[in-house]
Structure 1
Amino acid sequence: MDRIVDIATDGRHLSRERGFLKVSDDSMEVGRLPLDEIAAVIVHAHGTTWSSSLLSELADRGVPVVLCGINHTPRSVLMPLEGHHAQGGRLRAQWTAKSPLMKQVWKKIVVAKINMQAAALEAIGEPPAPLHMMTRKVTSGDNSNIEAQAARYYWPLMMGDQFRRDRDAPGINALLNYGYTVLRATTARAVVAAGLHPTIGLHHTNRSNAFALADDLMEPFRPLVDCAVRSLGARNGFKVDTEAKQTLVRLISLDLPLGEGQTPVSVALCKLATSLGQSFEAGKLSLALPSPPDALTLAGLGS
């Protein structure tokens, strides 16, 4: 199973030893984990050090190392240069993909996100019908920005009328930051493993954003984090403590309906990234996007 390693205590040293990631404090081992089980390493603490051999081993496995600043927002992501046996051809296909195809991809991403938001609202007893109506209005490239209209309806019902999404704010926003960081790292790993370049986005085009494609592909999965954060806040308050982190990390193993079966979030992201790469190469769109889980599952996230 994919596991997230979170380094939150100052002064830890990370190294590789016989196929394990070893965590030490003043030369005393405090924990270890098999490298093959790690999906991402997230570092929040000050004074963290690591060996170059560990970073090389993590890169060989496509494991991102996320360095976070204050309020749990990512500041840097270390990723391998190579991620797929046909990476060169797939990167060329990605770079030369025609605008109509890119716009159709973004339309499907937006529709999937709004459908997930609708399911999330229904799970907490709020009316989803307006969001379902909005999905019918999403055009190629979402030129009418239905995504933003859906957000204006969704957030007050999900988090309350006073809520404002601010990455620098504490409390609920800090919890959302952490959940999205886990999701972003998992998506970035899937993107690189699929032989795609994370900088070349579909919609996110900020020149300073090295993970624009990861930010695009994770959009339909964000409401899973929102549901978990809402439940966490109702139960324990909006504290980014160990319990909250463990709850949010477990989201990557949540099963989602995909095709004829159930697929964990981490695997669903890999299938989505792979299907996008194949669409670029074929010049024909075929995306593997999951459906929302049932209302009972969504309502239980974070519990």
Structure 2
Amino acid sequence: MDRIVDISSDGLHLAIYRGFLTVSRGGEEQGRIALDDIGALIVHAHGTTWSNHVFVKMAERGVPVVLCGPNHAPVSVVWPLEGHYAQGARLRAQIDAPRPLQKQLWRKIVAAKIRMQGQVLAANGQEGGAFEMLARKVRSGDPDNTEAQAARRYWKALFGPEFYRDQDADGANALLNYGYTVLRAILSRAICASGLHPTIGIFHSNRANAFALADDLVEPYRPLIDQLVLNLISGGESSVSRDAKRALTSISTFDLEGGPGISPLSVQAGRFVHSLAVSFETGEAKLELPSLPSFLELSGLGRQPVGEEA
């Protein structure tokens, strides 16, 4: 099972030893994890030092190394040069994808996100039916910005009328930042494994954004993090603590139903990104999007965290 490894304590040294990532302080080993078990490595601690071998071994396995700022949002991702065996052909198909196809893909992604938002609201006793109607109204390319219309209703209904999404704020906003960073790492690895390039987005196209595609593809999964953060807050967590981070990294193991059956989010995300790569190659917008979890499954999100932290 792919694990999200979080380095949050200051003054640690990371190295590779006989197939393991080792974590040490002052020459004394604090812990280790098998390289083949790592799905992403997230670092946002002061004074972290590295063996260059760490980056080499992470790159060989297609594992993204995510460096975060003080607000727990990513500022850099170390990306491997080599990925899928058909990377060249898929990259050309991604670059050459016609605009109508990109618009159709974005419509499906936005509609899936809005439906997931509605499911989260309904699971928390709010009116979610209107979101199904909004999802059906999304047109190719979302020219009406239905995504923003849904967001204006969604945040207030879920977190209260006083809530504003602010990446630089503490509390729920900081928890959301960290959770979205975990999702971004999961999708980044899936993008690499599928032979696509993270900079070439479907909708996001800011020249300064090196991971525009990852930002596009996390959208259907974001409401799952929102629910997880709501569960943490209801349980008394108000900051990005050790326990909160463990709960948020557990999102990679959250079971989602799809075509082949039930599988962890990290596996389902891989199938989703693969379906995007095939869509670029065939010119048909057919995406394997995540199914809607039950209310019971949403209420249990993050209750039994299984992440790794040092």
Place the TM-score, normalised by the shorter chain, in its bin. over 0.9
2:92 equivalent to 1:89: no
TM-score, length-normalised on structure 1?
0.98
State the SS of the aligned residue for 2:137. Answer: coil
The structural deviation recorded for 1:260 is: 4.9
2:80 equivalent to 1:73: no
CA distance in 2, matches of 1:81, 1:96: 21
CA distance in 1, matches of 2:31, 2:84: 31
Alignment-derived partner of residue 61 in structure 2 = 61
Alignment-derived partner of residue 210 in structure 2 = 210
Tell me how many residue pairs correspond in the alignment: 303
Structure 1, residues 262-288: CA drift from partner, whole Å, max 9, x if none? 121101111111111111111122111
Gap runs ≥5 in structure 2: 304-310
The structural deviation recorded for 1:237 is: 3.0
> How do residues 198-277 of structure 1 correspond to structure 2 at under 5 angstroms?
198-277=198-277
CA distance in 1, matches of 2:288, 2:280: 14
2:142 equivalent to 1:142: yes
Alignment-derived partner of residue 128 in structure 2 = 128
Alignment-derived partner of residue 180 in structure 1 = 180
Contact 1:115 1:135 survives alignment (8 Å): yes
State the SS of the aligned residue for 2:42. Answer: strand
Contact 2:254 2:301 survives alignment (8 Å): no
Aligned partner of 1:55: which letter? F
Deviates more, 1:138-147 or 1:253-262: 253-262
The structural deviation recorded for 1:54 is: 1.5
Alignment-derived partner of residue 111 in structure 1 = 111
Alignment-derived partner of residue 52 in structure 1 = 52
Structure 1, residues 64-97: CA drift from partner, whole Å, max 9, x if none? 1111111111110001011100100000000000
Contact 1:227 1:302 survives alignment (8 Å): no
The structural deviation recorded for 1:301 is: 1.6
Alignment-derived partner of residue 302 in structure 1 = 302
CA distance in 1, matches of 2:95, 2:292: 31
> How do residues 135-174 of structure 1 correspond to structure 2 at under 5 angstroms?
135-174=135-174
Aligned partner of 1:292: which letter? L
Alignment-derived partner of residue 41 in structure 1 = 41
List 4+ stretches of structure 1 deviating above 4 A.
Answer: none
State the SS of the aligned residue for 2:235. Answer: helix
Contact 2:251 2:302 survives alignment (8 Å): no
Gap runs ≥5 in structure 1: none
Contact 1:43 1:68 survives alignment (8 Å): yes
Contact 1:13 1:24 survives alignment (8 Å): yes
CA distance in 2, matches of 1:71, 1:100: 37
CA distance in 1, matches of 2:139, 2:49: 48
TM-score, length-normalised on structure 2?
0.96
Contact 1:20 1:32 survives alignment (8 Å): yes
CA distance in 2, matches of 1:139, 1:207: 25
Deviates more, 1:234-243 or 1:91-100: 234-243
Contact 1:259 1:290 survives alignment (8 Å): no
The structural deviation recorded for 1:302 is: 3.3
Alignment-derived partner of residue 19 in structure 1 = 19
RMSD: 0.8
Aligned partner of 1:295: which letter? F
Aligned partner of 2:278: which letter? Q
Identity value in percent: 57
